[in-house]
Chain A
């Protein structure tokens, strides 16, 4: 895996002002798929040196959420999560840490 720069300095002002970045991992029910996504996202964020909290939630909670900088979900569910202030990142292969790393770096750098 390629070297990942520490991006804390590159985070936006709002994220810096609010302290730790909040990411939500979303699936239909909030207990299975999203928890797997949360676990692997946390692993990747640690490797990237990014300080962030990741919460697993269901679609209903995600639709009401206004304070997450990033929503991690699947391509199928992303279409059902429109009109939110958060950036949406879709992950296709939940166990491919390289995919998660690449997409998070691209978005957060």
Chain B
């Protein structure tokens, strides 16, 4: 396991490979659904993630092809965690520099600082182009999990 904190953040059923989304809100919805399915958040958290996108714009597209969708710590978050949707077809989020998006991470945290190790892992992982490519080429969710 290369990224222990990252791997631990992905619960069961938190990864979907080859997903189809209609638009950016739908793509974020899928990432939120996985956080719900893996027991990390209340379903209302997903709507908050979509609201952040609508109110603050597509800043969540933090690198070419990669979005990090999240809201804030609240009682809707049961446990800090992550999810990942690998889109079969790229989606435009409206981010000039980094569109279109194929990797949509969902993220939830119970507080403001206990997830720093997790984000540190994420920063290192996503700065490696080969790692990002391996995520994009994962055969299925189990294969993707084995890459973490």
Contacts and interface: CB of A to CB of B under 8 A. Distances in A.
Interface in A36-62: 36, 39-40, 58-59
Contact of A29 (B52, B95, B96): B52
Contacts of A97: 127
Main secondary structure of the interface of B (DSSP, over half): mixed
Contact of A93 (B56, B63, B73, B109): B63
Interface residues of B, number: 30
Given A39-B123, A95-B126, A29 B63 contact: no
A27 B52 CA distance: 10
Contacts of A80: 56
B107 interface: yes
Interface string B134-146: 0000000000000
Interface of A: 27-33, 35-36, 39-40, 58-59, 73-77, 80, 92-97
